[in-house]
Amino acid sequence: MTRLDTTPLFDVGYDLPDEIAAVVRKLDVDDLDPDLVRDAEEAIRQYAHWSETAYTESGHYVRGDMIGRQEEDRHIAAIRKAVDALVEARKRADTPDYIDVTGLGGTTWVADLVMQDGRRLRCRTF
């Protein structure tokens, strides 16, 4: 099972917001669209880069509270959007669409469980 790479964020001492972190911890991205995975990891990397320079030593935003909060909200919204897209892709990958049964003659047949994302799980009997 493959997870999203969140190490850039941990490397700078930060974490994702709790509700996003809970989803990311459970989300298997192994067979999902690599572009969606890359988008989510890039959003996390950008947030980590921003977090590294966004705060003063006293813990305040460098550019002031209002601008700092807006920038942070924008980064978190981008991560949330990317993770939501991955969650939807995971649902499509794990939800059956139909069963395709093909007789091969006699008592031999093939049944494919076709998932919504087009992936086929094959069962053959003899």
pLDDT tens per residue across span 35-73: 999 999 999 999 999 888 887 777 778 777 888 889 999
Residue 55 in domain: yes
Same domain, 89 and 102: no
Same domain, 89 and 28: yes
Residue 104 in domain: yes
Residue 19 in domain: yes
Domain count, the chain: 2
CA 26 to chain centre: 10
Q: pLDDT (tens digit, 9 = 90+) per residue, 81-115?
A: 999 999 999 999 889 898 888 888 888 888 888 99
Whether the Cβ atoms of residue 112 and residue 125 lie closer than 8 Å to each other: no
| Confidence at residue 106, expressed as pLDDT on a 0 to 100 scale | 80
Same domain, 89 and 111: no
Domain that holds residue 75: 7-94
| Confidence at residue 80, expressed as pLDDT on a 0 to 100 scale | 97
Residue 103 in domain: yes
Same domain, 55 and 100: no
pTM score: 0.79
pLDDT at 4 over 70: yes
Residue 1 in domain: no
Same domain, 76 and 101: no
Same domain, 43 and 100: no
Residue 58 is which amino acid? S
| Confidence at residue 64, expressed as pLDDT on a 0 to 100 scale | 78
Helix (H, G, I), strand (E, B) or coil at 14: coil
Same domain, 69 and 54: yes
Residue 110 in domain: yes
| Confidence at residue 126, expressed as pLDDT on a 0 to 100 scale | 61
Residue 2 in domain: no
Residue 74 in domain: yes
